[in-house]
Amino acid sequence: MKVYVAQQNHHIGNFDRNVGLIIDALGRAEASGADLAVFTELCVCGYPPRDFLEFDDFIRECEAAVERILPYTHHVAAIIGAPARNPDPRGKDLFNAAWVLHEGEVKAVVHKTLLPNYDVFDEYRYFEPATEWKVVPLLGHRIALTVCEDIWNLGDNPLYRICPMDELMHQSPDLMINISASPFDYDHDEDRKEVVRQNVLRYGLPMIYTNAVGSQTEIVFDGGSLAFDASGNLVRELAYFREDECLIDTDELTQPSAGPADVPASLLERDMRVRRIADPDSIIPYLTAPHNMAQVHSALILGIRDYFSKMGFAKAILGSSGGIDSAVTLALACEALGPENVRAVLMPSEFSSGHSVEDAVALSRNLANPYDIVPIRSVYDTFLETLAPIFGDLPFGLAEENLQSRSRGNLLMAIANKFGLILLNTSNKSELATGYGTLYGDMAGGLSVLGDVYKMQVYALAEHINRNGAIIPRHIITKAPSAELRPNQKDSDSLPDYALLDKVLFQYIEKRKGPREIISMGIDEALVRRVLRMVNANEYKRNQFCPIIRVSSKAFGVGRRVPIVGRYLG
C-alpha cells in the first residue's frame, strides 16, 4: 500500500481553507499513485478548537466539511481528524476522532482514548474517551489507528489506565497509524521520535505518524512526521516548521521484526531530556545549546508569521531600546514579516545612555527596517507636573520609573492605533517570572515573542541570529543589561545574575522543584527563597499579559495555571 503523508498548516475554524488544503493534497496523492492519504488530528477544524467545540454550529460545520471531502476519496482513501458526536446521552457529547473515508463513504470512525488534560491540553473538558477498540480493515491491511496521546501511555508510571494499542493487538493488526497535533518545545522532538520508536519495538509493527505544523496563537506545531519500519528504524522524517508531504510504500516498512518487546521504562518518561538534567551547572549550557537555539529560532519565526497571517495583520511595531531583548525581537520580526513591515520606535529619556540610541539606530540600519526617534522627556515631565500636587515632596522612586515605561507604552499604542500596527512585546521569561516589568508599560503588546525565552537564551539567540554575519551590533550583546529608568541603573541592582537566576527559574518552572530540592543542589538558600517568592508574588502581572509564543515544556500562559492570591512560598 502506498501512503501519502500530508503535514499541513491548518487554521482553527477556517473550514474553507482547511478543506481546500485537504482536497488539494488528495489530488496530489491520487496523481502520485497513492492508495491512502493520512492527515493530522482535528485537521478539519484546526487544533486546538477549545470552546468552539461547545457551539453546535461549529460541529455542524465540521460535519459539513467531512461531507465536502468525501467525493474526493473515490480513488484514494483518506484518514482525517474531526470531532464526532457521541450518540450515548451519558458522558461528553463529542469524541476526538479519526475518520476513515474511501469510495465516497465513511468506512470507520475511530475515537481517541487518551485525552490529555495537562499543560496546554484540555481535551477532557470537551471529549469522551473511547470505550471500544477495533482494527480498521482497509486496502488489504489491518490498521491499528490511534490519535496522538494514544501512543504516549508507556513506562512504569503511565498517566492512564488503558493503553489502546494493547487492546488493538488482540486483533492482529499489521500497521500502526497515528494522527497527531503534538506541540513543539525544544525538548519534545527527540522525545516524540523516541516514543514512536518504542511503540514500534513494543508491538513489533511499523508505524506511520503524521503531525500538524503551524502556529495557533501561542502554540507552535513543528511537523516532523515520521515513518518507522517494524525493527525500529527511521525510514522517513518530514520537514520541521513547514508544510511537507511524502509518499511511503508500506513495503519499505515491513522489515523483519523480533515481534513485541519489553521497553525499558526509563526511556519512556514524559519530558525525558528535561528530567535527566540534575546537575545545576549543566542547565545553562543545555538551555543555550546551538541545536536548541536553532529550533527556538524557527519556532519563533513561525509563531510570529502565523499569528499575523491568520489574524489578518500585516505590520508590527515595537519599542527599540538598544538592549538585547528588543534587538532580538526586532531581528526575529523582520525575518518573519519582512523588514519593511516592522517599525521600530526609539524613545530615549533623560536616563538613556547615548550608546543606547546609537546601538538601536545601527541595528535598524543593519536590518533595513523603518525607525523613529521619539524622546519622552516632555511627556514624562508633563506627567510629573500633573502629579506634583499629589506626589508632593516624596522622593523619586518606583512610581517615577514606571511613569517612563508607561509613557513609552502609550506612545507605542498610539502609533499602533493610528497606522493599524500590532505591538510586539519584548519582555523575556526571566523578567516575566520575577515581575521585572511595568504593567501597561513595557508589558504592553499584542504578542509576546520572547516571553518563554530565558535571558541567557536571549543572548544565545542573538549569537544564532549573527551566525552568518553581524546583524545585532556586538555592543548590544556585550553591555550590561539595564532598564535605564534611573541614573546608572543595571538589572543586577534588582535581580540576581541572570546565569544564576535562570538556573533557579528553570528548576522551579520547568521541573517543578521546590525550595528544598533546589537548595540541595548547592544554590544559596536566601537567593532561592527570594526568587521563588518573586515568581509567585507576580502572577497577577502575568495574568494580564499578552499571548506568549510557547517554546519550552512549561510556558507562562494557558499551560501554567497557578492562583493569583495564593500564599505558597510567599
Which phi and psi angles does 90 have, rounded to 5°? -80, 145
Tally the residues of the chain.
Answer: 570
Q: What is the pLDDT of residue 349?
A: 87
Its pTM stands at 0.94
Query: For residue 120, what is its C-alpha cell?
Result: 496546554
Q: What is the pLDDT of residue 190?
A: 82
Q: What is the pLDDT of residue 267?
A: 42
Would you say residue 78 has pLDDT above 70? yes
- Looking at per-residue pLDDT, the higher value among 273 and 59 belongs to 59
Determine the average pLDDT of the residues in 429-441.
97
pLDDT band at 256 (very low <50, low <70, confident <90, very high): low
Determine the average pLDDT of the residues in 471-493.
84
As a whole-number percent, the residues of the chain with pLDDT over 90 amount to: 88
| Own/partner long-range contacts of 376-382 (Cβ < 8 Å, ≥24 apart) | 376/347, 376/348, 376/349, 376/404, 376/407, 376/408, 376/411, 377/349, 377/350, 379/407, 379/410, 379/411, 380/349, 380/350, 380/404, 380/407
Would you say residue 555 has pLDDT above 60? yes
pLDDT, tens digit (0-9, with 9 covering 90-100), for 158-174: 999 999 999 999 999 99
Q: Establish whether the linkage from the previous residue to 496 is cis, with ω within 30° of 0.
A: no
As a whole-number percent, the residues of the chain with pLDDT over 70 amount to: 95
Grouping H, G, I as helix, E, B as strand and the rest as coil, residue 351 is: coil
Identify the structural domains of the chain with CATH numbers, from first to last.
2-275 (3.60.110.10), 280-543 (3.40.50.620)
Region of residue 248 (phi > 0: left; psi between -120 and 50: alpha; otherwise: beta): beta
Q: What is the pLDDT of residue 264?
A: 45
Q: Determine which one of 45, 148, 163, 334 is catalytic.
A: 148
* Nearest of 333, 111, 299 to residue 214 by alpha carbon: 299
Our answer to whether residue 112 is catalytic in this structure is yes
CA distance 441 to 447: 14
pLDDT, tens digit (0-9, with 9 covering 90-100), for 114-147: 999 999 999 999 999 999 999 999 999 999 999 9
Q: What is the distance in angstroms between the CA of the first residue and the CA of the last residue of the chain?
A: 60
Would you say residue 32 has pLDDT above 50? yes
CA dihedral of residues 432, 434, 440, 446 (deg, nearest 10): 10
Determine the average pLDDT of the residues in 471-492.
85
Q: What is the pLDDT of residue 382?
A: 97
Q: What is the pLDDT of residue 275?
A: 45
CA distance 233 to 230: 7
Would you say residue 268 has pLDDT above 60? no
CA distance 328 to 427: 11
Determine the average pLDDT of the residues in 33-51.
98
Q: What is the pLDDT of residue 269?
A: 46
Average per-residue pLDDT for the chain: 93
CA distance 469 to 438: 34
Q: What is the pLDDT of residue 96?
A: 98
CA distance 383 to 418: 22
Determine the average pLDDT of the residues in 536-560.
96
pLDDT band at 278 (very low <50, low <70, confident <90, very high): low
pLDDT, tens digit (0-9, with 9 covering 90-100), for 140-150: 999 999 999 99
pLDDT, tens digit (0-9, with 9 covering 90-100), for 307-359: 999 999 999 999 999 999 999 999 999 999 999 999 999 999 887 777 889 99
Q: What is the pLDDT of residue 277?
A: 55
pLDDT, tens digit (0-9, with 9 covering 90-100), for 183-238: 999 977 788 999 999 999 999 999 999 999 999 999 999 999 999 999 999 999 99
Q: Determine which one of 43, 45, 62, 112 is catalytic.
A: 112
Our answer to whether residue 554 is catalytic in this structure is no
Q: What is the pLDDT of residue 350?
A: 85
The answer to whether the beta carbons of residues 293 and 457 sit under 8 Å apart is yes
Would you say residue 405 has pLDDT above 70? yes
Grouping H, G, I as helix, E, B as strand and the rest as coil, residue 451 is: coil
Our answer to whether residue 455 is catalytic in this structure is no
Would you say residue 266 has pLDDT above 50? no
